Amino acid sequence: MKFALFVEGYTERALPSFLKRWLDPRLSRPIGIKAVRFPGSSDYLKNFARLAKRDLDSGSLIAVIGLLDLYRASLEFPPNSTTDAKCEWAKAKLERQVGDSRFRQHFAVHETEAWLLSEPNAFPTSVRTRIQDVAHRPELVNFQQPPSKLLQAVYKAGGRDYKKVTDGTILFGRLTPDSAYAKCPHLALLLNDMLSLAKAAGL
């Protein structure tokens, strides 16, 4: 039994194994998670509903989980909305387009790199001290300087560029899921939703 995880971008290819490290110990047997990558948020928003319906109709999935970075989501949010209100509004909007309770839309606030910021010890020594101030509330790293741009700045100060795909994949392999879960409420919503769906399916 498995989930399809709809994502945009190459860094997110590391997410299935990361999510499984939190989910599997809480289930009676390991869950499958298959990443379906979209070239970007615009392509995601254009095609996700059609592809979600197709995949759900196949009958081989527990659910389709959509995941977008809030920072990159090309949506016209209601003006002056809080972060939580933006996520709730966009979640309802996109789930209505699929019209199936087995599709669940979630958002990384403000990017999946926020999850990495929750654990400074996963980073090279030259970077750790520069992110300590944000590690306790990484989802507050927001639209003004989103997590990937913050990482680019601190890596640059340490003498090299942050390589989103290469470094991000390595860091997700080092990241402790429980640490990110405890510090990133929107990640916790995603994981709790997947856990509930998996248990309801008999796992």
Q: How far is CA 22 from CA 1, 38, 50, 147, 172, in A?
A: 17, 24, 29, 22, 13
Say what the pLDDT of residue 120 is: 96
The answer on 93 and 140 residing in a single domain is no
Say what the pLDDT of residue 24 is: 98
Q: How far is CA 154 from CA 21, 90, 97, 110, 150, in A?
A: 28, 31, 39, 18, 6
This model's pTM is above 0.85: yes
Say what the pLDDT of residue 12 is: 82
Full domain range(s) for residue 44: 2-112+177-200
The answer on 117 and 99 residing in a single domain is no
pLDDT tens for 35-94 read 999 999 999 999 999 999 999 999 999 999 999 999 989 899 999 999 999 999 999 999
The answer on 130 and 67 residing in a single domain is no
pLDDT tens for 163-183 read 989 999 999 999 999 999 999
The answer on 182 and 143 residing in a single domain is no
**Which residues face 34 on adjacent strands?**
4
The answer on 86 and 30 residing in a single domain is yes
The answer on 122 and 105 residing in a single domain is no
The answer on 146 and 64 residing in a single domain is no
Secondary structure (3-state) at 2:
strand
The answer on 193 and 93 residing in a single domain is yes
Closest by CA to 165, choosing from 91, 113, 201, is 113
The answer on 100 and 15 residing in a single domain is yes
List of residues 6+ apart from 197 with CB closer than 8 A: 3, 62, 63, 102, 104
The answer on 33 and 8 residing in a single domain is yes
CATH number at residue 15: 3.40.50
pLDDT tens for 142-151 read 999 999 999 9
The answer on 127 and 101 residing in a single domain is no
The answer on 97 and 26 residing in a single domain is yes
- The count of domains in the chain is 2
β-strands 63-69, 103-108 pairing: parallel
